[in-house]
Structure 1
Amino acid sequence: MSQSEQTYVPEQLSTLFNGVGIFAKGEENTAYADYFTGKSFLALLNTQGVVVANVTFEPGCRNFWHIHHKGGQILLATGGRGWYQQSGEAARELTPGDIVYIAPETQHWHGAAKDSWFSHVAIEIPAADASNEWVRVVSDEEYNQLK
């Protein structure tokens, strides 16, 4: 039986996808760990032309407030429950199937709910000289207000 013909039982799927979302959890995200509160995991899905990555957050994990300069980002929520917040707006709960378009120059953060793992696919919108600016930590006081 070829891999494409192989069938999985629920226990195998749980192991294959680490119980979160539809893509593999990936490796611990050590490259960006300095910009996260808690542990995140990264699985690069595509690196040619458009960078596409699956990011998985353990419960309570979130990235810092940040800005994508020149290029923006699209988030596709694929597993668990999380949050997205744009500066000056209320936080928005994210569950599988939710889509967030983040325009260039928008200060924001995203991450898991306190009681749930969370995964999203991040699509980087290409732009010449695009960069990220990490602004500040999402404080425990800010985060703990979320339900």
Structure 2
Amino acid sequence: MQITRSSIDTVKGPADWFTDDVYIDAVAAAPAPSRVTASLVHFMPGARTHWHRHPLGQTVFVTEGIGLCRRRGGPVEVIRPGDRVLFEADEEHWHGAAPNRLMVHMAINEGDDDHAAVHWQAPVTDEEYHATPATR
């Protein structure tokens, strides 16, 4: 067993990954042979990732607020606390906060010597972000 005391600072998400204000807290980054990392990601209202993909997939678990997500070619989906979103391997997508609400999620990723955890792409345009969400 290993206990890591809370000593890692919250970091601001880099502008080449995110649009607007996003803050990241590292949660898990176990040494090899583990391939899993986890981060608590705080999106301020309107903030979002750029388009990106994960060679080994990604799961996000919403813990607070209201968010939006979209896979390439699909509709914008609204996500809420307790929702889990699985982005399949290499599925291009984005996720972030709703325009008027913050959103916090746990992002769980895998990576290894042969697969980067993420490949960042172009920013999500305002038109893509503001597309009408799917109805349920």
Q: Look up the SS of the partner of 2:62 in the other structure.
A: strand
Which residue number in structure 2 is paired with residue 133 of structure 1?
A: 119
Q: Work out the CA distance in 2 between the residues paired with 1:128 and 1:90.
A: 33
- Paired residue type of 2:128: E
Flag as ranges the 4+ runs of structure 1 deviating above 6 A.
none
TM-score, normalised on structure 2? Answer: 0.81
Which residue number in structure 2 is paired with residue 82 of structure 1?
A: 67
| Residue 91 of structure 1, CA deviation | 1.1
* Larger Rg over CA atoms: 1
Correspondent of 1:54 among 40, 48, 58: 40
Question: What is the correspondence of 1:8-47 to structure 2 with a 5 Å cutoff?
Answer: 27-30=10-13, 32-47=14-29
- Paired residue type of 1:77: V
| Residue 126 of structure 1, CA deviation | 4.0
- Paired residue type of 2:131: Q
- Paired residue type of 2:74: E
Unaligned runs of 5+ in 1: 1-25
- Equivalent pairs: percent with the same residue? 32
Q: Using a 3 Å threshold, how does the CA distance of structure 1 residues 74 and 141 change in structure 2: closer, same or farther?
A: same
Q: Look up the SS of the partner of 2:121 in the other structure.
A: strand
TM-score, normalised on structure 1? Answer: 0.75
Which residue number in structure 1 is paired with residue 87 of structure 2?
A: 102
| Residue 127 of structure 1, CA deviation | 4.3
Q: How many residues align?
A: 120
Greater helix fraction, Structure 1 or Structure 2: 1
- Paired residue type of 1:97: G
| Residue 33 of structure 1, CA deviation | 2.7
